[in-house]
A and B are shown apart, each in its own frame.
Chain A
Amino acid sequence: SQQGEEDPQALSIQEGENATMNCSYKTSINNLQWYRQNSGRGLVHLILIRSNEREKHSGRLRVTLDTSKKSSSLLITASRAADTASYFCAAPQGGKLIFGQGTELSVKP
């Protein structure tokens, strides 16, 4: 069963623009995580936000969490061509980490 669902499924922007991806989840969580996957590679952890946090920053990444709406967003500011990848949210469920289907981001130079 899927815990996180991302929106949009695909996003294409120009270099320098901001990219926003959204994630909705189903059950109560104690944290939500975002991962990135470059084509042909494994997933890499980007950032974790805990249920008692509303916003978190890491470099050009900003993550928000709204537990009342069971949703999170990932904002990448001043995007670069190298940000082209798939981005997944993931939330714990019964001791397991369940991933959404991902958002495919394409940043055109």
Chain B
Amino acid sequence: DAGVIQSPRHEVTEMGQEVTLRCKPISGHNSLFWYRQTMMRGLELLIYFNNNVPIDDSGMPEDRFSAKMPNASFSTLKIQPSEPRDSAVYFCASSSGDTIYFGEGSWLTVV
């Protein structure tokens, strides 16, 4: 199994630009999570989907963030417009039970 696949691994963008992060969960997993990790705030859950339906987006910081899961094998997290304080590592994870499996993360730097 290839595991959870995220792209891009690294992105540097200018403030105001749109950023799209992509995730392919493990095949057969019915839950997908987007987390953000920073030194200051640790690992925060932004949103999670169950069977492609957003269940809880209470962790999404503000309207600049949006996430979609058009099918069971693909999800996106979009930031528009991006700001320097969005700089972080964004993790996608998936699960079919209690244990969740993380991707390697997308390292975002907004300058």
How many A-B residue contacts, CB cutoff 8 Å?
45
Contacts known (A42-B103, A43-B91); A96 close to B98, Cβ less than 8 A: no
Instruction: Tell me what chain B mostly uses at the interface: helix, strand, loop, or mixed.
Output: strand
Instruction: Please name the residue on chain B nearest to A88 by beta carbon.
Output: B43
CB atoms of A97 and B102 under 8 A apart: no
Contacts known (A95-B55, A96-B48); A45 close to B100, Cβ less than 8 A: yes
How big is the B interface, by class?
A: 20 to 34
Q: Is A33 an interface residue (CB 8 A)?
A: yes
Give B49-73 as 1s and 0s: 1 = Cβ < 8 Å from A's Cβ atoms. Answer: 0100001100000000000000000
Instruction: Please name the residue on chain A nearest to B102 by beta carbon.
Output: A42
CB atoms of B104 and A33 under 8 A apart: no
Q: Is A44 an interface residue (CB 8 A)?
A: yes
CB atoms of A33 and B99 under 8 A apart: yes
